[in-house]
């Protein structure tokens, strides 16, 4: 056991925000009931939106296919509950825009047994079949990015994968869903890793876990199945350790090149929840219909880790856990990167790992006045990608957005917000970078016209 | 030292002769006459590039919307070409949802720019398509043609607007588009929601009822995606009849002097809504007093 407590591997730079995980880390995963109506947006993942294959008034079983993948970088959707499709219409999604969604009125009488397909023999399947089955299951990165998993598992010609990483860092404050999952579903996690190893042809798998989760580290280390090249490695508790590029740097000391993918350094990286779901869904060819979400924050009366059907409106979840009277802001995901929502009608989607409610107190504690940059260099020391946020911020204020992209690697920034977190002048650096990226996208689109 | 000086200067003199690039002197003259706003409205990257195209004879000076007619005539005279047709175009905003008519769904407290707000859950405005009113277009306009009215909605000054398109790019909700100044009939809404849902978001939303299409010349207005859309190819047939029965005031007549005019039905509806709001406010105040 002693080796668990040595200082873990890590990357340089990064920040140490307060963890706030005590409230939910010991709460077992609890199943949440069905909301009266579920709203399943067709674009819950990065890539092309899914195409609906159900019609209005059609009855669907739980787990039935309701939308098929709209391309290679796309995944299908499955009905999160048995009921009737009431309409296929626009719905407000977390980004604040309206997007097509399938509305399902849950039938309280119907059997909510998840539909099972033909058995799928994982042992006998070829790697290509495994990748296809992963797409059919509608799996995306459940850590938050919602990138279609099968795309990461597809190894293009000329590339090889030697290591599969399971990401169990969960470096965002407040979130504990991956922690609970590692404690409660270790067998699925290992089985998922076995599938990923087979599909990618990698020689070994490493589960990276931040050293603030010693119980999960010890449990997984003691129960690695015999004959599988799976290693469990502690990494230092530091934000953003859970970012793909940072985890690869910490465990393998490899750097993903600018604009590149983990595949370029022979690595495939999956979130532990994604792997566990993979193992649970594939043997019976089922689809992803629910996920574990940490519902927490000072504004929540009954914080915990809940197994929530996809498409459940936030209002239903927050009614269940109870909001305090002074709850003011709801964030999807963790407080560092998670976006705020502007309405509680927004449904839970595949990429939602947490629902965080903050109160008036946190809003009041937030610095309001923005001061000029004093060139202290804190942000430069915090940036895990060795960018210069201070300089980028100065360029953003002058609206030199193209220079930011061409000369200063703006597009390598994955918006971890470490720079904004440490800035003593309260400069909203990440906000500037997001504006810059958005403007560059629009300029390029305008030029193409 | 003197030898070195003479040697180097003769190299420079030679280089000047040898490497000289001939440039039409008229480019400089034309460039001097152009407004140097470098706005790009002519379709070229800056005034200098436009001047080069003019001298090359590829365009007519009328393509510059910023220059005055006299200036255009001078350039045309200088180059001995025609001034070219000048179609006055202006930027038009497809939203009438000022804070007086649109509900808010959240309170946005971040960076005070439209693009910043739109990146955080689309901003706080109740209508996901609507104007956020945080002045990005006003800041982007190089001609000070955009001002914000009392309801935090941008107003375009038709005289100052040169249709350079800076606001079109700046607006994160893509509410601006460039139109011929004589297009007076205008749908000031982008909301694709169904009637009741759209009305819930904004009192001035187009509910797709189709009354305007019935009252207008055939084929002029069509309802697509719960939204009235004008076929600008048939704009000649437009008149003020189309706006009269609109229940929300989403379709307007853009009068040069008076600004957007809404129909009689919409005026009535707005007055009713205002009276109701005043009544509710009074009732709430009375209830508050009672509890106190």
Distance between CA atoms of residues A170 and A143, nearest Å: 8
Report the gap between the CA of B223 and the closest CA in chain A (Å).
17
Residue by residue, DSSP assigns A239-251 as BTTTSHHHHHHHH
Predicted confidence at residue A1, as pLDDT, reads 35
The reply to whether residue A96 touches residue B193, judged by beta carbons under 8 angstroms, is: no
Q: Report the SS3 class of residue A86.
A: strand
Q: Are A137 and A205 in contact (CB under 8 A)?
A: no
Q: Are A178 and A166 in contact (CB under 8 A)?
A: no
Distance between CA atoms of residues A332 and A44, nearest Å: 14
Place of tokens 């449904």: A347
**What 3 state SS string does chain B have?**
CHHHHHHHHHHHHHHHHHCCCCCCHHHHHHHHHCCCCCCCCCCCCCHHHHHHHHHHCCCCHHHCCCCCHHHHHHHHHHHCCCCCCCCCEEEEECCCCCCCCECECCCCCCCCCHHHHHHCCCCCECCCCCCCCCCHHHHHCCCCCEEECCCCCEEECCCCCCCCCHHHHHCCCCCEEEEECCCCEEECCCCCCCHHHHHHHECCCCCCCCHHHHHCCCCCEEEECCEEEECHHHHHHCCCHHHHCCCCCCEEEEECCCEEECCHHHHHHHHHHHHHHHHHHHHHHHHHHHHC
From chain A, which residues contact B within 8 Å (Cβ)? 89-90, 92, 94-98, 339-343, 363, 428, 431-432, 434-435, 438-439, 442-443, 446
Distance between CA atoms of residues B99 and A44, nearest Å: 31
The runs of H, that is alpha helices, within A19-119 are 22-25
Count CA within 13 A, CB hemisphere, residue A342: 27
- What kind and span of H or E run contains B78? helix B69-79
Predicted confidence at residue A364, as pLDDT, reads 87
By C-alpha distance, the chain A residue nearest B116 is: A435
Identify which of B110, B121, B169 has the shortest CB distance to residue A431: B110
Render the burial of A67-78: b for 16+ CB within 10 Å, e for the rest.
bebbeeebbbbb
Residues of A within 8 A of B169 (CB-CB) are 442-443, 446
Residues of B within 8 A of A439 (CB-CB) are 115
Predicted confidence at residue A182, as pLDDT, reads 96
Identify which of A95, A98, A443 has the shortest CB distance to residue B121: A95
Distance between CA atoms of residues A173 and A338, nearest Å: 11
Distance between CA atoms of residues B49 and B30, nearest Å: 11
The reply to whether residue B122 touches residue A439, judged by beta carbons under 8 angstroms, is: no
Residues of B within 8 A of A428 (CB-CB) are 110-111, 116
User: Which site among B44, B103, B106 would you substitute to test the A interface, given the most A Cβ atoms closer than 10 Å to its Cβ?
Assistant: B106
- The torsion angles phi and psi of A233, rounded to 5 degrees, stand at -125, 130
Determine how β-strand A37-41 pairs with β-strand A98-106.
Answer: antiparallel
Distance between CA atoms of residues B169 and B171, nearest Å: 6
Q: In the structure encoding, which two tokens stand for residue B51, read together?
A: 């001047």
Q: What does the mean pLDDT of chain B come to?
A: 89
By C-alpha distance, the chain B residue nearest A432 is: B116
The model's pLDDT over B4-31, given as tens digits with 9 standing for 90+, comes to: 999 999 999 999 988 888 888 888 888 8
The reply to whether residue A96 touches residue B129, judged by beta carbons under 8 angstroms, is: no
Predicted confidence at residue B255, as pLDDT, reads 87
User: Which site among A433, A435, A443, A448 would you substitute to test the B interface, given the most B Cβ atoms closer than 10 Å to its Cβ?
Assistant: A435
User: pTM for this one?
Assistant: 0.88
The reply to whether residue B169 touches residue A443, judged by beta carbons under 8 angstroms, is: yes
From chain B, which residues contact A within 8 Å (Cβ)? 105-106, 108-111, 113, 115-116, 118-124, 128-129, 169, 172, 192-194
User: Which site among B115, B122, B132, B227 would you substitute to test the A interface, given the most A Cβ atoms closer than 10 Å to its Cβ?
Assistant: B122
CA angle B273, A315, A327 (to 5 degrees): 85
The reply to whether residue B128 touches residue A442, judged by beta carbons under 8 angstroms, is: no
The reply to whether residue A96 touches residue B123, judged by beta carbons under 8 angstroms, is: yes
Predicted confidence at residue B148, as pLDDT, reads 95
Identify which of B105, B110, B116 has the shortest CB distance to residue A343: B105
Q: Are A179 and A296 in contact (CB under 8 A)?
A: no
Residues of A within 8 A of B123 (CB-CB) are 96, 342
Distance between CA atoms of residues A259 and A326, nearest Å: 43
From first to last of its 449 residues, chain A has per-residue pLDDT tens of: 333 334 468 898 999 999 999 989 999 999 999 999 999 999 999 999 999 999 999 999 999 999 999 999 999 999 999 999 999 999 999 999 999 999 999 998 888 888 888 888 888 889 899 999 999 999 999 988 899 999 999 998 889 999 999 999 999 999 999 999 999 999 999 999 999 999 999 999 999 999 999 999 999 999 999 889 999 999 999 999 999 999 999 999 999 999 899 999 999 999 999 999 999 999 999 999 999 999 999 999 999 999 999 999 999 999 999 999 999 999 999 999 999 999 999 999 999 999 999 999 988 888 888 999 999 999 999 999 999 999 999 999 999 999 999 999 999 999 999 999 999 999 999 999 999 999 999 999 888 87
A354 or B41: whose pLDDT is higher?
Answer: A354
Distance between CA atoms of residues A353 and A213, nearest Å: 18
Render the burial of B60-89: b for 16+ CB within 10 Å, e for the rest.
bbbbbbbbeeeebebbbeebeeeeeeeeeb
Distance between CA atoms of residues A131 and A137, nearest Å: 10
CA angle A290, A295, A296 (to 5 degrees): 165
Report the gap between the CA of B163 and the closest CA in chain A (Å).
15
Strands (E), chain B: 89-93, 146-148, 154-156, 176-180, 185-187, 221-224, 227-230, 251-255, 259-261
Identify which of A89, A342, A439 has the shortest CB distance to residue B106: A342
Distance between CA atoms of residues A153 and A143, nearest Å: 16
The residues facing A323 across adjacent strands are A300
Residues of B within 8 A of A393 (CB-CB) are none
User: Which site among A90, A91, A96, A443 would you substitute to test the B interface, given the most B Cβ atoms closer than 10 Å to its Cβ?
Assistant: A96
Determine how β-strand A290-296 pairs with β-strand A304-309.
Answer: antiparallel
Predicted confidence at residue A8, as pLDDT, reads 62
Identify which of B105, B115, B192 has the shortest CB distance to residue A342: B105
The reply to whether residue B106 touches residue A438, judged by beta carbons under 8 angstroms, is: no
- Spell out the residues 6+ positions from residue A177 whose beta carbon is closer than 8 angstroms to its own: A29, A170, A273, A292, A293, A294, A305, A353, A354
Residues of B within 8 A of A438 (CB-CB) are 115, 119, 172
The reply to whether residue B120 touches residue A428, judged by beta carbons under 8 angstroms, is: no
The reply to whether residue B106 touches residue A343, judged by beta carbons under 8 angstroms, is: yes
Q: Are A247 and A165 in contact (CB under 8 A)?
A: yes
The reply to whether residue B169 touches residue A446, judged by beta carbons under 8 angstroms, is: yes
- The torsion angles phi and psi of A136, rounded to 5 degrees, stand at -60, -30
Strands (E), B50-142: 89-93
The reply to whether residue A95 touches residue B115, judged by beta carbons under 8 angstroms, is: no
Give the burial class of A273: count Cβ atoms within 10 A of its Cβ; 0-12 exposed, 13-18 middle, 19 or more buried.
buried
The arrangement of strands across the sheet holding B251-255 comes to: B185-187, B251-255, B259-261
The reply to whether residue B120 touches residue A439, judged by beta carbons under 8 angstroms, is: no
Identify which of B116, B124, B172 has the shortest CB distance to residue A342: B124
By C-alpha distance, the chain A residue nearest B114 is: A435
The residues facing A308 across adjacent strands are A291
Residues of A within 8 A of B108 (CB-CB) are 342
Report the gap between the CA of B181 and the closest CA in chain A (Å).
23
Please give the distance of CA A81 from its chain centroid, rounded to a whole number. 22
The reply to whether residue A342 touches residue B193, judged by beta carbons under 8 angstroms, is: no
Strands (E), A96-191: 98-106, 163-168
Q: In the structure encoding, which two tokens stand for residue A187, read together?
A: 């067998």
Q: A49: cis peptide before it, omega within 30°?
A: no
Residues of A within 8 A of B129 (CB-CB) are 98
Distance between CA atoms of residues A70 and A77, nearest Å: 11
- What kind and span of H or E run contains A34? none
Distance between CA atoms of residues B134 and B131, nearest Å: 8
User: Which site among A41, A332, A342 would you substitute to test the B interface, given the most B Cβ atoms closer than 10 Å to its Cβ?
Assistant: A342
Distance between CA atoms of residues A53 and A50, nearest Å: 9
Identify which of A96, A439, A446 has the shortest CB distance to residue B121: A96
The reply to whether residue A98 touches residue B192, judged by beta carbons under 8 angstroms, is: yes
Residue by residue, DSSP assigns A311-333 as T-BHHHHHHHH-B-TTEEEEEES
The mean per-residue pLDDT over the stretch B93-118 comes to 91
Identify which of B116, B123, B128 has the shortest CB distance to residue A431: B116
Q: How many CB pairs under 8 A join A and B?
A: 60
ipTM of the complex: 0.86
């Amino acid at each position: 056991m002693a080796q668990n407590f040595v200082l873990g591997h890590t990357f340089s730079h990064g920040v140490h925000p307060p963890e706030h995980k005590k409230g939910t880390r010991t709460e077992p995963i609890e199943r949440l009931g069905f909301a009266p109506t579920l709203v399943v947006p067709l674009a819950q993942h990065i890539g092309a939106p899914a195409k609906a294959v159900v019609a209005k008034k059609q009855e669907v079983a739980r787990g039935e296919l309701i939308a098929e993948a709209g391309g290679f970088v796309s995944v299908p959707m499955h009905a999160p509950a048995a009921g009737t499709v009431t309409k296929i219409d626009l719905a407000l999604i977390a980004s604040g825009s309206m997007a097509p969604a399938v509305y399902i009125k849950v039938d309280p009488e119907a059997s909510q047994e998840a539909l099972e397909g033909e058995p799928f023999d994982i042992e006998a399947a070829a790697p290509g079949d495994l990748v296809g089955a992963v797409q059919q299951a509608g799996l995306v990165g459940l850590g938050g990015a919602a990138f279609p998993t099968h795309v990461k598992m597809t190894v293009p010609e000329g590339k090889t994968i030697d290591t599969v990483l399971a990401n169990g860092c969960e470096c965002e404050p407040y979130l504990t869903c991956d922690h609970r999952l590692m404690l409660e579903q270790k067998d699925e996690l290992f089985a998922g890793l076995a599938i990923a190893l087979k599909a990618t042809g990698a020689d070994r798998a490493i589960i990276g876990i931040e050293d603030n989760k010693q119980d999960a580290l010890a449990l997984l280390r003691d129960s690695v199945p015999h004959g599988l090249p799976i290693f469990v490695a502690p990494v230092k508790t530091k934000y953003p350790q859970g970012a793909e590029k940072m985890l690869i740097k910490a465990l393998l000391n490899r750097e993903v090149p600018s604009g590149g993918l983990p595949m370029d350094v022979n690595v495939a990286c999956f979130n532990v929840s994604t792997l566990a779901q993979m193992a649970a869904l594939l043997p019976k060819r089922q689809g992803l219909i629910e996920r574990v979400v940490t519902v927490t924050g000072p504004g929540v009366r009954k914080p915990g880790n809940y197994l929530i059907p996809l498409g459940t409106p936030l209002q239903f979840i927050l009614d269940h856990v109870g909001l305090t009277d002074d709850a003011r802001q709801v964030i999807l995901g963790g407080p560092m990167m998670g976006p705020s929502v502007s309405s509680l009608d927004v449904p839970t989607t595949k990429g939602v790992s947490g629902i965080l409610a903050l109160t008036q107190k946190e809003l009041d504690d937030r610095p309001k006045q923005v001061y000029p940059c004093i060139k202290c260099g804190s942000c430069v020391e915090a940036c895990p990608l060795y960018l210069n946020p201070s300089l980028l911020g100065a360029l953003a204020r002058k609206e030199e957005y193209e220079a930011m992209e061409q000369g200063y690697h703006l597009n390598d920034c994955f918006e971890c917000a470490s720079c904004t977190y440490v800035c003593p002048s309260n400069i909203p650096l990440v906000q500037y970078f997001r504006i810059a990226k958005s403007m560059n996208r629009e300029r390029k689109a305008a030029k193409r016209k | 030292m003197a030898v070195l000086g003479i040697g180097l200067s003769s190299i420079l003199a030679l280089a000047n002769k040898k490497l000289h690039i001939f440039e039409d002197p008229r480019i400089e003259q034309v460039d001097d006459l152009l407004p140097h706003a470098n706005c790009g409205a002519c379709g070229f990257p800056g005034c200098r590039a436009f001047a080069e195209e003019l001298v090359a004879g590829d365009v007519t000076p009328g393509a510059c919307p910023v220059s005055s007619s006299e200036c255009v005539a001078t350039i045309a005279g200088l180059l001995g070409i025609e001034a070219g047709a000048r179609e006055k175009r202006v930027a038009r905003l497809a939203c009438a949802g000022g804070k007086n008519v649109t509900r808010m769904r959240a309170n946005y407290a971040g960076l005070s720019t439209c693009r910043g707000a739109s990146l955080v859950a689309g901003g706080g405005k109740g209508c996901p398509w609507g104007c956020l009113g945080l002045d990005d277009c006003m800041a982007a306009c190089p001609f000070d043609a955009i001002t914000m009215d009392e309801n935090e909605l941008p107003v375009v000054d038709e005289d100052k607007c040169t249709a350079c398109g800076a606001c079109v790019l700046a607006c994160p909700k893509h509410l601006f588009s460039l139109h011929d100044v004589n297009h007076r009939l205008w749908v000031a809404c982008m909301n694709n929601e169904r009637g009741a849902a759209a009305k819930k978001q904004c009192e001035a939303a187009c509910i797709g009822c189709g009354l305007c299409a019935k009252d207008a010349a055939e084929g002029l207005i069509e309802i697509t995606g719960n939204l009235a859309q004008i076929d600008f190819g048939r704009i000649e047939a437009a008149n003020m009849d189309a706006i009269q029965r609109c229940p929300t005031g989403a379709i307007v007549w853009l009068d040069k002097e008076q600004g957007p005019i809404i129909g009689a039905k919409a005026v009535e509806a707005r007055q009713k809504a205002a009276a109701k709001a005043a009544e509710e406010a009074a009732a709430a105040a009375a209830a508050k007093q009672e509890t106190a």
